Structure 1
Amino acid sequence: MAMLEQVWRVPLDHPALAGHFPGHPIVPGVVVLDQVLCLAQSHVGGAVSTWQVGQVKFVSPSGPGDELSFVLEAGARGGLSFVVRCAERDVAVGSLTPGSP
């Protein structure tokens, strides 16, 4: 697999932003990870029915309207490594492994 990239702009009205955190909203890590998993699944189609998060580190926060760049690369044993960036800074880094069907 060649490197796979996708850009996603965080909607200003994304429902996960409400209450996370009032006055200074940030995108919850689970929303970022969900986008990574959707990109991984769309790339492999039905070849992998589930993914397991091998590791993930949330490096810096992102907020409403931020443009996030997702980069996935082939890793060991059918897994994927990923980096999520906003401008020049990393937001999250980690890896996924194929799960059992």
Structure 2
Amino acid sequence: MAELRCVPVAVPRDHPAFDGHFPGRPLLPGVVLLAQVVEVLRADPEAAAWLGEAPRLSAVKFLAPVLPGADLAVCWTPPGAGSRLRFEVRRHGPGDDAAGVLAATGQFDAGPAAR
């Protein structure tokens, strides 16, 4: 069974995506969170080769907001041939317990090289 891989991602408190999203209660937009996931996966040679040039996101659920001052942990298990790459994003922010809070889950379908 493949091991779970996790990479910490620092989200600057002054990240420009917080501006205007939403006034009075800023939170990290889902598209920015997903961009972080793709960036982390592209930095892993095995995951990058599996995803291919145009990753195909087949499902995503946003479960908890990511507020200024929180960091992320992007976790995934390397997929088998032809399967899906499942990921989760844990939020580590003020008041969260040591394991973090599950902020998002999702999966990518196999890229051309893995099909």
* TM-score, normalised with respect to structure 1: 0.86
Partner of 2:95: none
Provide, for residues 23-70 of structure 1, a one-character-per-residue CA deviation record: whole Å limited to 9, x for no partner: 110000011101111111111376222211010000010111202111
Which of the two has greater strand per residue? 1
SS of the residue 2:72 aligns to: strand
Instruction: Give ranges in structure 1 of 5+ residues lacking alignment.
Output: none
Partner of 1:86: 91
Q: How does 1:11-22 map to 2 (within 5 A)?
A: 11-22=12-23
Moved over 6 A (4+): none
1:51 lines up with 2:63 in the alignment: no
- How far off its partner does 1:100 sit? 4.1
1:69 aligns with one of 70, 73, 77: 73
Q: How does 1:31-42 map to 2 (within 5 A)?
A: 31-42=32-43
Provide, for residues 7-37 of structure 1, a one-character-per-residue CA deviation record: whole Å limited to 9, x for no partner: 1121111111110011110000011101111
Structure 1 or 2, whichever has the larger Rg, is 2
Moved more, 57-66 or 69-78: 69-78
Partner of 2:108: 96
* TM-score, normalised with respect to structure 2: 0.76
SS of the residue 1:84 aligns to: strand
- How far off its partner does 1:78 sit? 4.8
Q: CA RMSD in A?
A: 2.0
Percent sequence identity over aligned pairs:
34
